[in-house]
Amino acid sequence: MRYYLLFFIVTLFVYSSCDFGSKGDTHNCKMGKPAPMFSDTMKFVQQHQFFVQGNMGVETVHFDNMFRLEIYQSGCDKLKQEFRVTQPGKFDGLEDAFWVKGAYQSLMMFSGVSMKLAGLKPWAEIIQKNADKIKLAEPFSPEPGIQIVVDRIMGNKEATIIIQFEQI
């Protein structure tokens, strides 16, 4: 129950979203209107964009270290956040544990960018603590009502770690 409450508080504080009605009305949504997590004034942030697309908030952040982060958030009563961390390089043949560790390291890095993002650290720690139980593309529930998925997308010159949090 502790993580469920933490998840709710962190997502409400950091980046909440709503399933907009046909008129874009957010009054019926618990979570309200989407808001950006990052800004171009934060350390390590080279470029930042944020917009709302339909019922989804979309944020793109380019960092000094050549990493790119895309955040997709949707939901009105039950939130879903997806972090896509892309980095240049060739990553063929690496085992699941590499990507799970990368998910942990990415969230830790983001949590250190600003106090506003410190709420990501407990999620990184949950991933680290359960690393041996997490399989790529398979939902993992650290407790009832919360689901985490870690996955990856391979490219010729880059790879993307996907970290998804969802209230179920």
Structure tokens at 115: 């106090």
Q: What is the mean pLDDT of residues 75-95?
A: 92
Residue 127 pLDDT > 70, yes or no?
Answer: yes
Residue 54 pLDDT > 70, yes or no?
Answer: no
Structure tokens at 86: 């892309």
Specify the pLDDT at position 97: 97
pTM (2 d.p.): 0.84
Element at 71 (helix H, strand E)? strand 68-74
Q: How far is CA 164 from CA 7, 44, 75, in A?
A: 12, 23, 13
Specify the pLDDT at position 30: 77
Task: Give the list of residues 6+ apart from residue 93 with CB closer than 8 angstroms, or none.
Answer: none
Task: Identify which has the larger pLDDT, 35 or 100.
Answer: 100
